[in-house]
Amino acid sequence: MKKRIAVLPGDGIGKEVAKGAIEVLQAVGERFGHQFYFQYGMIGGEAIDTLGTPLPDETIELCKQSDAVLLGAVGGPKWEKKPAHLRSEQGLLRIRKELGLYANVRPTSYYPSLADASPLRKEVIEGVEMVMVRELSGGIYFGKPSERIQKNGEDGVVDTLYYQRAEIERVVRLAFELAVERKGKVTSIDKANVLESSRMWREVAEVISKDYPDVELEHMLVDNAAMQMIKNPKQFDVVVTENMFGDILSDEASVLTGSLGMLPSASLSERGPYLYEPIHGSAPDIKGKGSANPIAMILSAAMMLRQSFGMNEEADAIEQAVNQVLDAGYRTKDIMTFGKKLVTTDEMVGEIKATL
Ligand code: NAI
Ligand code: MG
């Protein structure tokens, strides 16, 4: 097969891990006889510095004309204090809007060989198999107004949490579709005891669940969910929640597998192309040190092969190679434990390619 892949490496370790994922994809292409065409686009801080905008129109066009998009990570201290239109995360928010990416799907699986890299006891995390579905293009990260205001002569500030019913429906439906193929349980997380938006979310989840009689629906308040995720993560199968709750809970879930550097994600839209990215950021603290874990990015590429191209065998091959390399004891610094072999980003990529 021939596929066009837009690659947006971004900033910091985004560049380092994207390079690794491309090499792995090239190895897959050779082994399975596919031609992957990689075309690069700018996003984030680098785009601000060279073109004066965090998301140039050329990048949007490139993405729209591609079969799938691979994104590294954006951001860094250099751009954090700039006005909104010159901040790197605006590039990320806008590409999600432009491509209609309404759901971010984040699987979290237990890696037996990494059991000792998690601060949680093995009995707690053994066998964890969950997928978090985070609403991605609505909620408080997009609602207007979002600004400083003066009220009664006092300094104040406002952010807005807004959802259309249809936006809630499509992301909750996606969660149910995933649950049908898995263990048949959806946990919908909200704050319905306080927020009106959550009460509507709950209502919608109840309505959608009628279409899926074989899937169990459970509601959970977000504060309790934050605790349950650590206390008894095995209870979860598919978790669905609004944008900000999902942002926070999915970072929390990363602790279960050992490191942010292990978790991939897929962002889905109604029409495609879909976008794949690791859940971590640009990690300025380790930039250029060769210690970034490329696995989250490589597993994101595997998700792309399966989800966007239907290349199941190829995706399995990458996942197996990653498992074998971990079983063999190779570790980047973030997952390093006593007695294992410490490797750099490039060495980890090299081992995974060699195993493929
Ligand atoms: P971060 O995810 O970049 O880093 C958090 C911690 O995890 C750091 O100590 C980092 O070294 C470590 N880490 C992350 N990925 C790793 C990897 N692959 N291998 C080894 N260690 C890894 O989050 P942080 O520090 O809050 O944000 C840094 C910058 O990234 C900010 O500018 C932020 O806005 C941006 N960011 C971008 C995201 C994206 O592009 N999707 C997501 C989250 C943050
Ligand atoms: Mg986040």
Same domain, 160 and 92: no
Sign of the four-CA dihedral 212, 213, 218, 219: positive
Pair 129, 149 in one domain: yes
Pairing of strands 68-73, 103-109: unpaired
Is 182 within a domain?
yes
Distance CA(184)–CA(237), nearest Å, equals 7
| 223 in catalytic set | yes
103, 17: one domain? yes
Nearest CA to ligand 1 atom 25: 283
- The partner residues of 51 in beta bridges, in order of sequence, read none
CA–CA distances in Å: residue 211 to residues 201, 208, 221: 16, 6, 23
Task: Report angle CA 229, 232, 236 to the nearest 5 degrees.
Answer: 65
Q: Is residue 326 part of a domain?
A: yes
Pocket of ligand 1 (CB under 6 A): 13, 17, 73-76, 89, 92, 260-261, 277, 280-286, 292-293, 296, 334
pLDDT at residue 259 in the model: 83
- Whether 149 and 234 map to the same domain: the answer is yes
Pocket test for ligand 1, best of 280, 335, 349 (most atoms within 8 A of CB): 280
Choosing from 255, 276, 302, the residue where a domain stops is: 255
What pLDDT, on the 0 to 100 scale, is given for residue 224? Answer: 98
Q: In total, how many domains does the chain have?
A: 2
Binding site residue list: 96, 106, 134, 223, 247, 251, 281-293
Whether 266 and 221 share a structural domain: no
One domain, residues 248 and 273:
no
Q: Taking the model in full, what pTM does it have?
A: 0.93
CATH number, domain at 94? Answer: 3.40.718.10
Residue 129: predicted pLDDT: 93
**pLDDT (tens digit per residue) in 99-118:** 999 999 999 988 888 888 88
Task: List, in order, residues 6 or more apart from 312 with CB less than 8 Å away.
Answer: 305, 306
Pair (53, 96) in one structural domain: yes
- Ion ligand 2 nearby residues (CB, 5 A): 247
Domain holding 347, by residue range, is 1-108+258-356
* 317 domain-assigned: yes
Asked whether residue 300 falls in the same domain as residue 227, the answer is no
Name which residue sits closest to atom 18 of ligand 1, judged by CA: 261
Last residue of some domain: 239, 255, 271?
255
Helix (H) or strand (E) holding 320, with range, is helix 312-327
**10-residue mean pLDDT series, the chain (356 residues):** 97 98 98 98 96 97 98 95 88 94 94 85 92 96 94 95 97 98 98 98 98 98 97 97 95 83 95 95 97 97 98 98 96 94 98 96
Confirm whether 114 is domain-assigned.
Answer: no
Are 45 and 148 within one domain? no
Residues with Cβ within 8 Å of residue 224, at least 6 apart in sequence: none
- Please indicate, yes or no, whether residues 89 and 217 belong to a single structural domain of this protein: no
Q: Final residue of a domain: which of 215, 238, 255?
A: 255
Pocket test for ligand 1, best of 17, 55, 70, 260 (most atoms within 8 A of CB): 260
Residue 48 domain-assigned (yes or no): yes
Quick: pLDDT tens for 53-95. 999 999 999 999 999 999 999 999 999 988 888 899 999 989 9
